[in-house]
Amino acid sequence: MALTTATWVVMLVVVTVVWGSASVAIRRSLADEERKLRLVQRQGEIDTYSPKALADLRTWVEEHPADPYADEAKERHDECVETLRQLDEPFYDWSDDEIESLETFNET
Amino acid sequence: MPDSEARTAREEWGTRFGFLMAMLGAMVGAGNIWRLPYTTGQNGGGVFLLAYVLLLFLIAIPGLMAETMLGRYTQKGVVGSFREIVGDDLYSGLSLVVVLVNVGVMSYYAPVIGWTMYYAANSLLLTFFQSGFEAAAFWNSFTGSPVLTVGTHPVTMAAIAVVLAFGIRRGIERVVKYLIPFLIVALVAVSIRGLTLPGGMKGLAFVFTPDWSHLLRGDTWVAALGQALFSTGLGWGIALTYGSYLRKYDDVPLGGGVFTAVGNTSIGLLAIFAVFPVVFAFGLEPASGAQLTFVSLVKVFPKLLGGQAWAIVFFLGFFAATFTSGIAITEVGVTTVAEETRLSRTQSVAAVVATIWLIGLPSAYSSEFLGAMDYVFGNFGFPFATLTIILLVGWKFGPERARVIDVNRSTDLYVGRWWNGIVKYVIPVVIAFILGYGAINSIGTENQTLMMGGIALMVVLSLGSVLVMKFVSEPTPTESTSSTVQRGD
């Protein structure tokens, strides 16, 4: 029995989207873990936020200074900034200029 | 309640692969193999699948991210996470309902694992290939024999107890690292055989041919919503519990969200390719549930060249799928009991497994009782648990706060502000809709009594849980002097 064109199209779209996403997700996840572990073993630490995520975190703390979670958010932010200053090789795509421009909340 | 963290260091997954396989094993169960193919064929084929995949990305993935984040952030099980976020607020009492729903579900899922174990054993013994073998008669004699159905129940629970007693890394991770790849290889092998059979393409036509008239039907979208939300295990407390064993450097969105949802669906698709071509090639009526697997397929294997090998591969794979889900559902209770009582992990495993075994006896004895439990927990228990967990992130913790502090920490995939609205509004509305739709649709049908019983059970469990949690959280005079400051809104 031959499948219709519409059947083939739907099957290929679903298979590509689902199996494709799953393959990409597992490959990227495992590759990133390997890289993270290598960096942690070599440097003892890695940066925990990407430039975009750290900027979000800072903005949120500045906008919610009285939030019950603000202190913890500051700690996480500052820990990442201090780690970035000490590292030879960050995990995320940080430029030297970007790292130099970062400030911990204690410094502002 | 004692602080478990003060007593023992919390375990962590040994590897990323172990975590991913554990999440996959937790969410892939009998439903992927015997429900998804049939549901797809009955709801517009390709149209249903397209709707399902769309809703998977739109709702299930963001929801799973929220739930996994909750566990990773608090580093606690279900009850501990709720208490961490809302303190001893009445809402934290509902956390116990989530745990009880898992215990209730496992009480009737354990006998189903027993069925797959029995069939896997019989495939190894080549029972299906003996002369005069009748698949339907074999199934009826098995389900009609309390000795067998009640007898396989403790074997299942004992096997799960052994795995859980070894802990996260040495128990669960070690088992899923082998069973899940085996399941995938088994389904691929059977798919190749099925697709090469004359007439196998009819099975694919049944599942994938789009019937566009279903596109505007409410039933199609409700079925797709249900499949996207509940086949991925969103809001059961499993992602929360497994997420609580993640390390600081682990990623939540990619592994906990994207991979768990699309990986689970990938195996569902594999099941479609494995099961339906075989069923259609031999001119059998497609069916859903146990009939499909335990009668239709068993009839087919003896007709296949090398059928013994295909039957062994398929039933061992099917057992792997159900067993790893059973491990995950039971672990939700084990983690909670170990954290919230003075019991050790081994004692907690024994307590939870014994409870499930005991309350699972009626389901093991009677398939009618099992069906009723499935209806009540599937239609009311799971949606209620999911709503409870999603509301915790969306309305108590706050999605923006969760996103910036933890979801995007150490992530391989940046999550933007779009996530907030989905977690806060879309998922709760969708789940409330499914709950209401299920209840209204059962009015005037044979399920009306079960529906009313299901709602009553959820109300009783909620009130009871809130009272129990309030009672156990009441500070003693000595505790009140050293109480910690609560965080929350």
Q: Which of residues 27-86 of A touch B (CB under 8 A)?
A: 28-30, 32-33, 36, 40, 46, 48-50, 52-53, 56-57, 59-60, 64, 67-69, 72-73, 76
Written as six digits, the tokens of A45 are 């630490």
pTM, two decimals, is 0.92
Q: Please give the pLDDT value at position B477.
A: 52
- For testing contact with chain B, the best of A12, A13, A21 (most B CBs within 10 A): A21
Written as six digits, the tokens of A50 are 């990407």
**Are B259 and A29 a contacting pair at CB < 8 A?**
yes
Contact B377, B108 (CB under 8 A): yes
The beta-carbon neighbor of B202 closest among A1, A4, A18 is A1
- Tell me how crowded residue B200 is: count the other CB atoms within 10 A of its CB: 21
Q: Which residue of A has its CA nearest to B56?
A: A18
Q: Residues B449-477: pLDDT tens digits?
A: 999 999 999 999 999 999 988 887 765 55
**Are A33 and B50 a contacting pair at CB < 8 A?**
no
Question: In this structure, is the dihedral angle defined by the CA atoms of residues B264, B290, B180 and B357, taken in order, positive or negative?
Answer: positive
Low-confidence stretches of chain B (pLDDT beneath 70): 1-8, 288, 474-489
Contact B408, B388 (CB under 8 A): no
* Burial of residue B366 (number of CB atoms within 10 Å: 0-12, 13-18, 19+): middle
Q: Please give the pLDDT value at position B8.
A: 54
As a whole number of angstroms, the distance between CA B157 and CA B400 comes to 41
Cβ-based neighbours of B489, under 8 Å, separated by 6 or more: A68, B396, B398
As a whole number of angstroms, the distance between CA B99 and CA B106 comes to 11
Contact B252, B72 (CB under 8 A): yes
User: A-chain residues within 8 Å CB-CB of B20?
Assistant: 26, 29-30
As a whole number of angstroms, the distance between CA B476 and CA B1 comes to 11
DSSP per-residue string spanning B393-435: IIIII-HHHHIIIIITTT-SS---THHHHIIIIIHHHHHHHHH
As a whole number of angstroms, the distance between CA B340 and CA B84 comes to 13
As a whole number of angstroms, the distance between CA B301 and CA B386 comes to 39
**Are B254 and A29 a contacting pair at CB < 8 A?**
yes
* Smallest Cα distance from B173 to chain A, Å: 16
DSSP-assigned letter for residue A27: H
Q: Percent of chain A beyond pLDDT 90? A: 94
Contact B465, B96 (CB under 8 A): yes
**Are B202 and A76 a contacting pair at CB < 8 A?**
no
Cβ-based neighbours of B86, under 8 Å, separated by 6 or more: B92, B392, B396, B488
CA angle (B271 as vertex; B270, B276 as ends), nearest 5: 115
As a whole number of angstroms, the distance between CA A19 and CA B267 comes to 9
Length of chain B equals 489
CA angle (B423 as vertex; B419, B429 as ends), nearest 5: 135
Q: What is the pLDDT along chain A (108 residues), one digit of tens a residue?
A: 688 999 999 999 999 999 999 999 999 999 999 999 999 999 999 999 999 999 999 999 999 999 999 999 999 999 999 999 999 999 999 999 999 999 999 876
Q: Please give the pLDDT value at position B6.
A: 43
**Are B262 and A30 a contacting pair at CB < 8 A?**
no
